[in-house]
Amino acid sequence: MDLFKIITEIEKVDPEVYDRLDSRRKVFKHFGLAGKAVTAAMLPGLVSGIFQRAYGQTSSLSPDIVAVLNLALSLEYLEYYFYNKGLATTGLIPSGAGRDALSVIRDDENKHVAFLKSALGISAATVVVPESKFDFTGSKGGARAALFADVFSNYQTFLAVAQSFEDTGVRAYKGGAAGLMANDTILEAALNIHSVEARHASHLRTMRRGGPTVAGAGTGASPKSWITGTESGGAGGSITAPIYGAGASSFPAEDNVTQGGVNLQTALSSLNFPATAFTEAFDEPLDGTTVTNIVLNFVVGTTL
């Protein structure tokens, strides 16, 4: 087992991890291991120590931070299991660049799961949310009619649901940032994940409009690489509309044109920009309650 490889994997989730640690050489010096072999038996304690040094004592996290991280962890499990199941479904995802991209996204989500569990002080070997908790058709385990009955038999539907999950994740991480303000280290790491989720969303949107196997399928089948207004409900119309709509109280919908108390469309009316230009310029955050209600559409039961 390679400790450097583990730290490198952490770096893929949190590029600033070395700012919180030391150089790779000094990591060994910090643990008094210079010139010594690292055995498999030593790794659990070493990795635990690395995270304690990088992200602080988990026991000191406030309830607000724990709540944000737990919701983020549920989202990451949802996404990881979704991509993993899709990639394992014979005949669903064509070979080539699209499949390669989805494999990378799947692996990113798995790294996010690992980071969030570590930040919460959860053992890497502990499964917090089992795959059986999720029903990606939206039927909630058969309790209602499926929202996306062909999600694992129709590639276009699969990509549409994938986009919906990623768009939700982008808003969720931005909305949760305020709850992480008390811990700068975790806030920075979470915002790094936010940027990765945004790249996922953009790439999936490109895939949906990028070729004969995906173009022209379903609502909003040829989306821009960024969110415009409320997306006419998104990839699933009324089903996915809450992803782009308003949240609780201070969380406006994605068609918001007011920033910092200034209506940009009015203030810059002389420039004749369309309203969509202002909505595209800003990503709107979403509150935890609204995000939870969106995710519950794909959960068996009534709670995460």
The domain spanning residue 142 has which CATH number?
1.20.1260.10
145 with 31, same domain: the answer is no
Closest CA to 204 of 295, 65, 97: 97
Across 57-66, 76-85, 96-105, 162-171, least confident range: 57-66
Average pLDDT in the chain: 84
Would you state the structure tokens that stand for residue 205, as one six-digit string?
């949107």
Determine, yes or no, domain membership for 276. no
Determine, yes or no, domain membership for 258. no
Tell me what the mean pLDDT of segment 130-147 comes to: 97
DSSP the chain: --HHHHHHHHHHH-TTHHHHS--HHHHHHHTT-TT-PPPGGGHHHHHHHHHHHHH--GGG--HHHHHHHHHHHHHHHHHHHHHHHHHHSTTTS-TTHHHHHHHHHHHHHHHHHHHHHHHTT--TT--SS-GGGB-TTSSTTTTS--SSTTTTT-HHHHHHHHHHHHHHHHHHHHHHGGGGTT-HHHHHHHHHHHHHHHHHHHHHHHHHTSSTTTTT-STT-S--SS--TTGGG-TTGGGTGGGTS--STT---TT--EETTEEHHHHTGGGT--HHHHHHT-PPP--HHHHHHHHGGGBSSS--
Tell me what the mean pLDDT of segment 199-225 comes to: 72
50 with 122, same domain: the answer is no
Greater pLDDT, 25 or 298: 298
Query: Is the pLDDT reported for residue 63 higher than 80?
Result: yes
Domain range for 217 is: 60-248+287-298
Tell me what the mean pLDDT of segment 133-152 comes to: 97
Q: How many domains does the chain have?
A: 2
91 with 171, same domain: the answer is yes
- What pLDDT does residue 124 have? 87
pLDDT tens for each residue of 7-49: 565 555 555 554 554 444 544 444 454 455 555 554 454 554 5
Q: Which residues touch 147 (CB under 8 Å, ≥6 apart)?
A: 137, 138, 139, 236, 239, 297
36 with 108, same domain: the answer is no
- What pLDDT does residue 227 have? 94
| Largest interatomic CA distance in the chain | 68
155 with 16, same domain: the answer is no
Tell me what the mean pLDDT of segment 104-122 comes to: 95
- What pLDDT does residue 237 have? 87
Query: Is the pLDDT reported for residue 304 higher than 50?
Result: yes
Confidence of residue 221 (pLDDT cuts 50, 70, 90): low
Confidence of residue 209 (pLDDT cuts 50, 70, 90): confident
Tell me what the mean pLDDT of segment 246-255 comes to: 95
Determine, yes or no, domain membership for 175. yes
71 with 27, same domain: the answer is no
160 with 36, same domain: the answer is no
Greater pLDDT, 224 or 33: 224
89 with 164, same domain: the answer is yes
Greater pLDDT, 24 or 249: 249
Tell me what the mean pLDDT of segment 281-303 comes to: 96
Across 45-59, 175-189, 220-234, 267-281, least confident range: 45-59
Q: By percentage, how much of the chain surpasses pLDDT 70? A: 77
Determine, yes or no, domain membership for 139. yes
Query: Is the pLDDT reported for residue 290 higher than 50?
Result: yes
Q: What's 74-123 look like in SS3?
A: HHHHHHHHHHHHHHHCCCCCCCCHHHHHHHHHHHHHHHHHHHHHHHCCCC
For 241-271, give one letter per residue: b (16+ CB within 10 A) or e.
bbbbbbbeeebbbbbbbeeeeeebbeeeeee
136 with 88, same domain: the answer is yes
Tell me what the mean pLDDT of segment 69-75 comes to: 97
